[in-house]
Every structure is written in C-alpha cells, then in structure tokens.
Structure 1
C-alpha cells in the first residue's frame, strides 16, 4: 500500500487506527473477491464445495462490515476528524456497504447452485458468462486497488468498463430469450443463466460505486450520477 498520500497526525495512535481501518477494508475486499471467484466456479462447474464456501464467507463479510462501521463511528466521535480524515471515514462506511452487497450477489449465485443439487440437466459449461465474469472481476480488483493506493488515476478506465458490462449483459439476455423461444427445454437453464448474469452486472455497478467513493475520499468531490466525461472533468479540475 502506498501510504505517502495518507495524512500523518501528531497522535501516533490516530495514525495506527486509520491504518488498521484501511487494512480491515482490504481484508473485507479480499474476501468478497474470493466469494465472486468461488460463486462463479460453483455455477459453471457445479462445484458444491465452492458454493458452501461462499455462504460461509458471507458471514465473515457481514461481521467485518459491522466491525468497520462501528470503528468508523467510534473514531469520528473520539477524534472529531476534519478534511481528508473525515472524508475517508465517510467513504469507508459507504464502500463497505457496496462490498457487502457484492458478497450478497455472490451468495445468491451460490445458493442457486445448492438449490439445483441433484438435478440431471445441469451438464452444460456456462461459457456465455465467462467474458462478463472477467470484466466484472477486473472492475472489482481495480476499485479495491484504487482504494488501497489512495489513487484515482485509474478510476476513469475502471468505470468505463461498466458500459461494456451492460452491453455484455444485454447480449446474453437476448441470446437466452432466443434459446427459450426456440426450445422450451432450454427455459430452466436460461433462467439460471439470466439470474447469474444479472448478479454479475450488479457486482459491476457496486464496483463503480466504490470508485466514486474513492474519488470523494481523495478529491473531496461527489461524482455520483455524473457521466463518465463529467466525472473525468471533475477529477482533472481538482488538484
């Protein structure tokens, strides 16, 4: 982690508290990334062990969210931070909410795999979803990296991937509708695929939200609901 941009305080204890907080967020982010990997592995390969692991880790993610939320509130009450420190705490609370929701989407995929246990039609490799999965994983990894490095330089490139995710999701949806119309026997598989694709699309959205919170933390600008061009101008206008 690049700590050069993190404000140092007279109180060494305050420095330590803020650093520990960042480390916990990164730990939570790592768990969520692993959940996404395991959930999609479970779905595409019918790996029940991976599905079970996703559900188990969801409890860890939920616990971390509550711990981090409590620590942010406690620091704000005791330290009465201002400027960057206050923005970091506010952004952190929002970031962990999005990370927890990403974990929920991964858990939703895993629980669907569990529901399908014992069915005899579950034979296909869900190849259509692989490109969407890689796009979303890249966005999540990039968003967490931006937070860890306190850097917004790559945020525009990360959020630009959201348009590709949306196009891929729409393409998958059209393909699945066609398959269902051509042969009713495809309906069950297509619906499972559709719900999984939707969960991945939502993970991409939450990754974009994390990027927006990082911009607020570093630059002090709220870029929610702005177009990518407006966001880029806002970032470049603040030094």
Structure 2
C-alpha cells in the first residue's frame, strides 16, 4: 500500500476537479512525454475501469492530453488541451477498455509516436491524492513514482552492466535512493530504474551509454512536489 498524508488528500496544485482523475492522470502523461526523443506526433490513450467510466466528466482526457504536451498539473492551458493539440498537429484517440478487476481502477496505457518515428508505450496508475506510479514500459513490468529524479536504462541483461552503471553514477557523486532491475527473460532486454536525489551531471548519460550492452539512457527530472 502507498502512504498518503493529509496533504496528499487535499491534493497537489492542480487544474481540477479531481486529484486522482485529473492531477494523477496529468502526471502520468507528463512523465510519459518526458521519455520522448522529439515532439509527440500521435498518441493513443487506453483507459481502464474507473478512468474509462468517468474520464469525460472528470477532465481526465484533457489532463492526459495536456500531460503529453508537457503541461504540469497546475497548467492553466489544460482546459484548452484539445484545441492546442490540434494547433500543434498532434493526433490523439481515447479508447475505453473492457473492465478488468486485475488492473488498478485508475489505469491508462499511453501509446506514443514521436516526430522522429520512435514509438513506445507507458502504463500508469493514479493512486489518489495526485500520486501515481508507472507500472509498465513497453512490454516490461516496472515500478516507480516520479517523485525522485529518475534514470531509465534499457540494456541487455549481461554481467557487469549494473556495475558499470553504478560506477558511473558514483564517479559523478549521484546519491541513489532506489535501484531496481526489471526483465522478462534472463539474458534478454532489461530495464534498470534508478531514482536519486538532485540532478544528473551533463555527461553522465553519455558515460553510461559507452557500455556496448546499453541500448538507451533516459533521464527524467523530478516531476513534482506535492
């Protein structure tokens, strides 16, 4: 269970009406957008359970679309997200998935195609009080909150890769708060998720990428403070 304080119940600074259906949704989409290598060209939102039932009335659709355009939870442009997306030439779709009791009530799958042609997907869950977690990237189950600065390192599951990553961060005086490795099959593609305090030195990503088993390094700065 995720701890939620009285301040979380009140919710973050946001364009309402709901901390879970609006602010949490915006935070999920904003984090997904921060993984893009170029502006978003096309996006599909697959909504589950409560999200699918109430997204129009609670402004979840506006919040999600605003998030993938880089809007934070308190951005006054969120109510105009549809028209702004059209101005930017972004195509978007909202799909209501069948009810699934095995999935968190407030879950969305975001499928993004960038102007560069890169495509990826992110699954997020809005936990209440503006809190959220990312539970899947592409086909790999992961788990992180966006409440710390985060490195997502996609690499082959080979001996020595984690030692290389942690060695690079140690040299740069990066203080790791949490580090988790996620994979489907031994020796195949793995995702190392590293949450840490502060910022990332400019050349740290390049240094990590020098290992031939590292495919991609994505840095997501701390997203919000509730």
Pairwise same-fold verdict (TM > 0.5): no
Normalising by structure 1, report the TM-score.
0.26
Normalising by structure 2, report the TM-score.
0.28
- Larger helix fraction of residues: 1
- Larger strand fraction of residues: 2
Q: Relative CO higher for 1 or 2, CA cutoff 8 Å, sep ≥ 6?
A: 1
Larger Rg: 1
